[in-house]
Amino acid sequence: MRLTKFGHACVRIEQNGTTVVIDPGMFTEPEATRGADALLITHEHADHFAEDRIRAALEANPGLKIWTNRAVADQLTGLGGAVTVVGAGDAFEVGGIDVSVHGEWHAEIHRDVPLVRNIGFLLGGTLFHPGDALTVPEQPVQTLLVPLSSPWNKIGELVDYIREVKPGQAVGIHDVLLSEIGLGLGGWLSQDQPGTGAPYAHLASGESLELAAE
């Protein structure tokens, strides 16, 4: 399994000729979806879901399939069988890659801001993208994607999140709000200071990482 980071919260997963892209939003390069077999969308916020880009990707590739929650699907009307609604506990397969769905709600930004639905995707039983939540899957995770910077989280919560999930490694995403100096704060999420128990990596947009199954 090969992971390539694209802008902000988007990643591209390639395994045995199958390509899956998660959360191509407004800060993601349009080429992220090129040649993809499937798009997985965690929730409706524009930094994770850009409707015009999804429609353009499907027009360019009519065989493209999309899995997402009801709120996003309701905005993708007219696409017929290309869109499948999924929720916590569901499972499906994309070209030999098993995908399971975890979580229900976006993390709280503020008590005055209404919560939206959010789902996380576990691919191949090894890679977990939580969207905008700190969802703990019910099964072991080898590679955990960690939302670095958002209006709803802080470093201490991320340290505890990695400790609870106990992944083989953590990889930072959700980083468009950080400067190059701020990106260095990801060091707090490594095995040292205060320590999470998992190696940590941050990928620049376009950089890739070969993922071990265990």
Give tens-digit pLDDT for 48-102. 999 999 999 999 999 999 999 999 999 999 998 999 999 999 999 999 999 999 9
Q: Which backbone phi and psi does 184 adopt, to 5 degrees?
A: -65, -20
Tokens for 187, please give them: 């060091």
In which element (H, E) is residue 94 found? Answer: strand 91-94
- Sign (positive or negative) of CA dihedral 11, 14, 20, 26: positive
Torsion angle of the four alpha carbons 51, 57, 60, 65, in this order, in degrees rounded to the nearest 10? -110
Pairing of strands 169-173, 11-15: unpaired
94 contacts 37 by C-beta, under 8 angstroms = yes
What the chain holds in terms of domains, given with CATH numbers, is 2-203 (3.60.15.10)
73 contacts 91 by C-beta, under 8 angstroms = no
- Residue 162's pLDDT is 97
In angstroms, the CA 29 to CA 8 distance is 9
In angstroms, the CA 171 to CA 145 distance is 5
Express as a percent the part of the chain with pLDDT over 90: 86
* Cα–Cα distances in angstroms (integers) from residue 20 to residues 165, 172, 175, in the given order: 23, 18, 20
pTM for this predicted structure? 0.91
